[in-house]
């Protein structure tokens, strides 16, 4: 091998520095690609977990609506059974109305909770609770039933009532009227659970697809980095200074 001149040494040193720089750049590139993939998957799973947590809260809220309505019906029965005294009747009627307002308010708030789930969810699924059960229709039925309760209470306390209070008349006017509303309310959490389950399955599919995409992306970055380094090494090995 002949002795290298200064120009060849400088050129070779420059090539080696370029190789080291390229290797560092490729390490940084693959590292950033890996960190992005990890962040993307982690952020997706966190959003999905948060959405499912909120969905669980919505299901519990739906169940509490039916429980509140059952308490409301029990308060109505308290009026009929223990409302012979005017003060007692007023007290039970106030408890009945308060529980009725609680039931109505919670039912009114449910669609907004489901809408918030849709805003939080980015998995492509839609929380279409209305496709399974019509909350607005159930709410209208509840309001109509509450009006009937008030009408029956007024009739049982009116001039036509025996001794100023006729619980039998009130019971006759409302007997069985709450059954349909109760069944519809009971169906809400079951419908919501089905929607959430469908969304969970869709989220899993989207998560798997995202993982595959990021997996290919990271490996592409690695292959590109290795290819660039290999090309640089090949060029250095063909350097005239090393070919002598």
Which tens digit of pLDDT belongs to each residue from 168-223?
988 998 888 999 999 999 988 888 888 777 777 777 777 778 778 878 887 887 78
Tell me which residue of 46, 115, 107 sits closest to 72, measured CA to CA.
107
- Residue 214: CB atoms within 10 A of its CB come to 19
Q: What is the percent of the chain where pLDDT is above 90? A: 25
Dist CA 201 CA 190 (whole Å) = 17
Dist CA 76 CA 88 (whole Å) = 13
CB 59 within 8 A of CB 104: no
Q: Is the pLDDT of residue 165 over 60?
A: yes
Q: Which of 10-24, 94-108, 205-219 has the lowest mean pLDDT?
A: 10-24
The structure's pTM equals 0.67
Helix 135-156 / helix 167-174 crossing angle, nearest 10 deg: 160
Q: Is the pLDDT of residue 2 over 90?
A: no
Which pair of structure tokens corresponds to residue 156? Answer: 């049982």
In the chain, % helix, strand, coil (3-state, to 5) comes to 85, 0, 15
Per-residue pLDDT at 100 = 94
CB neighbours of 25 closer than 8 A, spacing ≥ 6? Answer: none
Domains of the chain: 6-243 (1.20.120)
Which pair of structure tokens corresponds to residue 23? Answer: 């290797």
CB 139 within 8 A of CB 69: no
- 152 DSSP assignment: H
């Amino acid at each position: 091998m002949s002795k290298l001149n200064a120009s060849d040494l400088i050129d070779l040193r420059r090539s080696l520095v370029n190789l080291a720089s390229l290797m560092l750049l490729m390490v940084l590139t693959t590292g950033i690609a890996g960190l992005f993939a990890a962040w993307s998957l982690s952020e997706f799973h966190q959003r999905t977990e948060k959405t499912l947590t909120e969905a669980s809260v919505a299901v519990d809220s739906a169940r509490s609506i039916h429980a509140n309505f059952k308490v409301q019906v029990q308060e109505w029965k308290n009026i009929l059974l223990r409302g012979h005294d005017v003060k007692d009747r007023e007290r039970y009627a106030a408890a009945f109305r308060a529980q009725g307002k609680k039931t109505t308010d919670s039912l009114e708030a449910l669609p907004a909770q489901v809408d918030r789930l849709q805003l939080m969810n980015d998995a492509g699924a839609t929380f279409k609770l209305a496709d399974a059960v019509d909350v607005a229709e159930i709410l209208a039925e509840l309001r109509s039933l509450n009006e009937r309760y008030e009408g029956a209470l007024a009739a049982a306390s009116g001039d036509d009532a025996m001794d100023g209070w006729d619980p039998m008349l009130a019971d006759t006017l409302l007997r069985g009227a709450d059954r349909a509303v109760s069944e519809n309310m009971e169906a809400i959490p079951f419908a919501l659970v089905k929607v959430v389950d469908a969304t969970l399955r869709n989220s899993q599919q989207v998560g798997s697809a995202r993982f595959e995409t990021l997996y290919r992306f990271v490996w592409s970055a690695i292959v590109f980095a290795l290819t660039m380094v290999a090309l640089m090494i090949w060029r250095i090995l063909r350097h005239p200074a090393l070919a002598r």
